Amino acid sequence: MYSKDQFLSLYRGLLRCHRILQEPIKSMGDQYVRTEWRLHLKTDKKTAFIFYKKWQEYLDFMLTQHQKNDDLLNNTIDGQNNDSNALPSFGRHMTVRELEKLNDEQKGQLSKLKIESFQLFEDDADGESTIIDPDITNNKK
């Protein structure tokens, strides 16, 4: 089982990892981490183990992706990258299996997160947010 020090170290690592993200994604990620930590302060050992493991996987993934982005940027600057369309990226799509494992509450949280993330980047000229759902061809106001 993981100690309090290990959980605290992971928490700090996650917030440090988010420093590489641009605003507003950084703030949104930090807030999500803080909220999840508060929600799981008092949980059973099995849930705590899974919680720690999944957040550690996320941190490892983000750090690996950051390194790949750095390599991509450095190779582009050095003229070694032949793909002019290659852009740094973060995140990944969930697998069908991962989506099937979600309970209704988790699906609701994911949907809310999806809407909020699209709202961060879609502003009309008049300053109103436009929600764009990639699964729907029509935009909604």
pLDDT in tens, 10-29: 999 999 999 988 888 889 89
Predicted confidence band of residue 57 (pLDDT cuts 50, 70, 90): very high
Using alpha carbons only, give the angle 115, 85, 62 rounded to the nearest 5 degrees: 50
Whether the pLDDT of residue 65 is over 80: the answer is: yes
Among 63-67, 102-106, 123-127, 130-134, where is mean pLDDT lowest?
130-134
In one letter, which amino acid is 55? W
Please tell me the distance from the alpha carbon of residue 116 to that of residue 131, in angstroms, as a whole number: 8
What does the pLDDT look like over 75-121, one tens digit per residue? 655 555 555 555 556 677 889 999 999 999 999 988 988 888 777 66
Among 24-28, 53-57, 62-66, 130-134, where is mean pLDDT lowest?
130-134
Whether the pLDDT of residue 130 is over 80: the answer is: no
Domain boundaries, the chain: 4-91, 93-141
Supply the DSSP string of 62-128, one letter for each residue: HHHHHHHHHHHHHHHHTT----TT-------PPPHHHHHH--HHHHHHHHHHHHHHHHHH-B-TTS-
